[in-house]
Chains A and B, each alone.
Chain A
Amino acid sequence: MMRRILPVGAVLLVVALGVFYTQWLVPTRDAVAIGTSMLAKQMCSCVFVAGRAEADCRADQFSSMDAITVEIARSSEIVRAFVPLLGDRTARYSEEFGCTLQ
Chain B
Amino acid sequence: MIGSMPRTSRRVRSGLGALIAAGFAAASSAAADELAPLPSHPEGVPWPTEAWAEAPLPGDIDRTVFDGAVADLFETTGRGGQRDTRALLVVHGGRLVYERYADGFGRETRFQSWSMAKSITNAFVGMLVGDGRLELDAPAPVEAWHGDGDPRSAITLRHLMQMRSGLDNGDGFGAEDMTMSFVSRLLFGEGSSAPAAYATDVGLAHPVGEHWAYSTGTSVLVAAIAGRAVGGGRHGTLDFLRTRLFDRLGMKSAQPEFAASGEFIGGAFMHASARDWARFGYLYLRDGVWEGERVLPEGWVDFSRTRGPAANNGIHGAHFWLNLAPGPDQWTPLPGAPETTFIAEGAMFQMIAIVPTMDLVAVRLGESQGVDHMELRAELARLLTAFPETMRSTHASAAGEDPR
Chain A proximity of B94: nearest CB distance (Å): 28
Residues 246-273 of B, flagged 1 when their CB comes within 8 A of A and 0 if not, give 0000000001111110000000010100
User: A15 at the A/B interface (Cβ < 8 Å)?
Assistant: no
Interface class of chain A by DSSP: helix
B257 A38 Cβ-Cβ under 8 A: no
Cα of A56 to Cα of B269 in the assembled complex, Å: 20
A51 B110 Cβ-Cβ under 8 A: yes
User: B61 at the A/B interface (Cβ < 8 Å)?
Assistant: no
Cα of A31 to Cα of B180 in the assembled complex, Å: 7
User: B112 at the A/B interface (Cβ < 8 Å)?
Assistant: yes
B189 A33 Cβ-Cβ under 8 A: yes
Cα of A35 to Cα of B82 in the assembled complex, Å: 22
Cα of A52 to Cα of B79 in the assembled complex, Å: 15
Residues 42-67 of A, flagged 1 when their CB comes within 8 A of B and 0 if not, give 00011001111001101110010000
B193 — which chain A residues lie within 8 A by C-beta?
Answer: 101
B82 — which chain A residues lie within 8 A by C-beta?
Answer: 56, 59-60
User: A102 at the A/B interface (Cβ < 8 Å)?
Assistant: yes
Q: Of the candidates A41, A59, A96, which one forms a contact with B238 in the assembled complex, judged by CB atoms under 8 Å apart?
A: A96
Cα of A96 to Cα of B185 in the assembled complex, Å: 26
B234 — which chain A residues lie within 8 A by C-beta?
Answer: 97
Q: Of the candidates A31, A63, A99, A102, which one forms a contact with B257 in the assembled complex, judged by CB atoms under 8 Å apart?
A: A99
B80 A37 Cβ-Cβ under 8 A: no
CB-based closest 3 A-B pairs = A59-B80, A37-B188, A98-B257
Known: A52-B104, A60-B369, A100-B257. 16 other contacts (CB 8 A): A31-B179, A35-B179, A37-B192, A38-B184, A45-B112, A45-B257, A50-B110, A50-B111, A58-B80, A97-B258, A98-B255, A98-B258, A98-B269, A99-B257, A101-B259, A101-B260
Mind listing 24 A-B residue pairs with CB under 8 Å? Answer: A27-B180, A30-B179, A30-B189, A31-B179, A31-B180, A33-B188, A33-B190, A34-B184, A35-B179, A37-B189, A49-B112, A50-B109, A50-B111, A51-B109, A52-B104, A55-B80, A56-B104, A59-B79, A60-B82, A98-B255, A98-B256, A98-B269, A100-B257, A101-B259
A98 B192 Cβ-Cβ under 8 A: no
- Our count of residue pairs bridging A and B at CB distance below 8 angstroms stands at 87
A51 — which chain B residues lie within 8 A by C-beta?
Answer: 108-110
Chain A proximity of B84: nearest CB distance (Å): 10
Closest to B104 in A: A56
A contact residues, total (Cβ < 8 Å): 28
Closest to B181 in A: A34
CB within 8 Å of A: which B362-395 residues: 367, 369
Contacts from A to B (Cβ < 8 Å): 27, 30-31, 33-35, 37-38, 41, 45-46, 49-52, 55-56, 58-60, 63, 96-102
B259 — which chain A residues lie within 8 A by C-beta?
Answer: 100-101
Cα of A58 to Cα of B369 in the assembled complex, Å: 13
B79 A63 Cβ-Cβ under 8 A: yes
Cα of A55 to Cα of B104 in the assembled complex, Å: 12
B151 — which chain A residues lie within 8 A by C-beta?
Answer: none
Chain A proximity of B371: nearest CB distance (Å): 14
B185 A34 Cβ-Cβ under 8 A: yes
Closest to B255 in A: A98
Cα of A51 to Cα of B271 in the assembled complex, Å: 11
